[in-house]
Amino acid sequence: MAPLITFDRVWKTYGQGEARVHALAGVDLAIRQGEFVAIMGPSGSGKSTSMNIIGCLDTPTAGTYRFKGVDAGRLDRNRRALLRNLYIGFVFQGYNLLARTTAAENVELPLIYRGVAAAERRELAMRALAEVGLTGREHHTPAELSGGQQQRVAIARAIVSRPTLLVADEPTGNLDTARTHEIMDLITRLNREFGLTIVMVTHEADVAAYAQRTIRFLDGHVASDAMNAEMAQ
């Protein structure tokens, strides 16, 4: 079976002339469906750029990015928006929930853009919130929730439309150790129970250890790409 994600000599270049910077310099990469991959690397190494391309938020300057066999790098922004809406969920470091909007309404958001009817939306949102262990908090606004709870709402929002891929950008960056492990356990469970493919950017080794595979970026290249030892069994 073809991989879910393939990078074929992907370049991403910013700026012009002297100020030209290659964020990605001919990266080749493949991620299969159901994998849990951690992307690591120092800032400026190209890990965020590759995550944006994987999440169909950005397009390569040169080379081909395929998502589900589709040449996503050649799609216009509205087609990529549709791709994100149908197949990709996002979790960010800063949670990125809509303020003064209840947890349930936040979770419903992707379904609104999918044109799902209100009653069904509400039902799906409740189910997603239950899956992340937030039953009873549906009508709280982000300001009334702790950081860990807010991130759970964000995860519920990411999985409510049953995506193929979850892109997580430093999902535990704002959380303490106990909360970090709770969130990572949740993400791991989503990977195992639903077969959700997960691509997670992190700079913490113990967070990356939850993944099955770690890709390290350095200066726009893949420096190392290996299965995690303890998970390999």
Centroid of chain to Cα 80: 15
CB of 22 to another protein, least distance (A): 18
**Tokens representing residue 20 in the block:** 């030209």
User: Measured from the CB atom, is 27 or 210 closer to another protein?
Assistant: 27
Contacts to another protein from residues 140-169, by CB under 8 A: 157
Tell me the Ramachandran region of residue 192: left when phi exceeds 0, alpha when psi lies from -120 to 50, beta otherwise.
alpha
Residues with Cβ within 8 Å of 68's Cβ and at least 6 positions away in sequence, in order, are 4, 87, 164
87 SS3 class: helix
Give the binding range for another protein (CB under 8 A) out of 28-36, 53-61, 62-70, 199-207.
53-61
Interface map 169-208 toward another protein (x if CB under 8 A):
----------------------------------------
d(CA 168, CA 207): 12
Q: Which is nearer to another protein, 51 or 210 (by Cβ)?
A: 51
Out of 10, 23, 36, 55, name the contact with another protein by CB under 8 A: 55
Least distance (Å) between residue 86 CB and another protein: 7
When the beta carbons of 86 and 231 are compared against another protein, the nearer one is 86
Residues 67-96 that bind another protein (CB under 8 A): 77-78, 81-82, 84-86, 88-90, 92, 96
Integer Rg of the chain from CA? 18
Minimal distance, residue 110 CB to another protein, in Å: 5
Q: At 15, phi and psi to the nearest 5? A: 75, 180
CB-based contact 151:119 (threshold 8 Å):
no
Beta strands 21-31 and 5-14 are antiparallel
- The residues that touch another protein, with contacts defined as CB under 8 A, are 52, 55, 57-58, 77-78, 81-82, 84-86, 88-90, 92, 96-98, 100, 109-110, 112-115, 118, 157
